[in-house]
């Protein structure tokens, strides 16, 4: 027996059957949890791409040796030589090259520097990391860089 304060929706048997059928159809059309997650991932990626492409600026940086987005950087980071691209991971798709955003702690510290310049920055974990710029040249595509250490390509 229902509690007297429990709200009840009164339906005819035909309306009840019709609504249950509609619910079943909607649940079937919704798909499995994996299909829902896949659609959500697609929608999320669409929003990401729209945001990236909304205010895009196409440019190739000047070959002036100055560290800026779009440059392939060779640097000594805490005494270890590294080669990486400064910019968005979106501009480099094959995964053979490390990419650092110009907004990352490293990117902020080295932007505007040139070969021979040295600086340091505080890593997210709190340690101080020294950086010495060896070279900076425009990134010209996946064939224009040495492979990441330990990888071929």
| Domain segments of the chain as ranges | 13-54, 71-144
In angstroms, rounded to a whole number, what is the distance separating the alpha carbons of residues 60 and 38?
Answer: 35
Cα separation, 153 vs 145, in Å, equals 9
pLDDT (mean) for 124-129: 94
Higher pLDDT, 113 or 140: 113
Q: Find all residues with CB under 8 Å of 82, minimum gap 6, and list them.
A: 74, 75, 76, 98
Give residue 60's pLDDT: 78
As a whole-number percent, the residues of the chain with pLDDT over 90 amount to 37
Q: What average pLDDT does this structure show over 13-35? A: 85
Distance CA 53, CA 145 (A): 26
pLDDT at 114 over 80: yes
Class of domain 71-144: alpha beta
pLDDT the model gives residue 152: 36
Please name the residue that has the structure tokens 């979106």: 90
**Token match 């064939």: residue?**
143
Other beta carbons less than 10 A from residue 133's beta carbon: 20
pLDDT level of residue 150 (50, 70, 90 thresholds): very low
Q: Inform me whether the pLDDT recorded for 149 exceeds 50.
A: no
Q: What is the pLDDT of residue 3?
A: 61
Q: Are strands 128-138 and 98-100 parallel, antiparallel or unpaired?
A: unpaired
Residue spans of beta strands (DSSP E) within the chain: 71-77, 80-86, 98-100, 118-122, 128-138
């Amino acid at each position: 027996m229902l509690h007297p304060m429990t709200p009840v929706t009164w339906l005819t048997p035909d309306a009840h059957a019709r609504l249950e059928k509609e619910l079943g159809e909607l649940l079937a059309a919704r798909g499995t949890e994996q299909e829902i997650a896949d659609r959500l991932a697609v929608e999320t990626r669409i929003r990401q791409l729209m945001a990236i492409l909304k205010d895009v600026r196409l440019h190739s940086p000047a070959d002036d040796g100055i560290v800026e987005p779009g440059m392939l950087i060779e640097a000594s980071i805490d005494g270890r030589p590294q080669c990486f691209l400064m910019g968005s991971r979106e501009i480099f798709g094959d995964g053979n090259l490390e990419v650092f955003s110009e907004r990352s702690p490293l990117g902020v510290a080295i932007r505007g520097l040139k070969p021979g310049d040295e600086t340091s920055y505080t890593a997210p974990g709190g340690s101080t990391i020294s950086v010495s710029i060896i070279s900076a040249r425009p990134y010209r595509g996946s064939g224009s860089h040495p492979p990441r250490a330990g990888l071929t390509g």
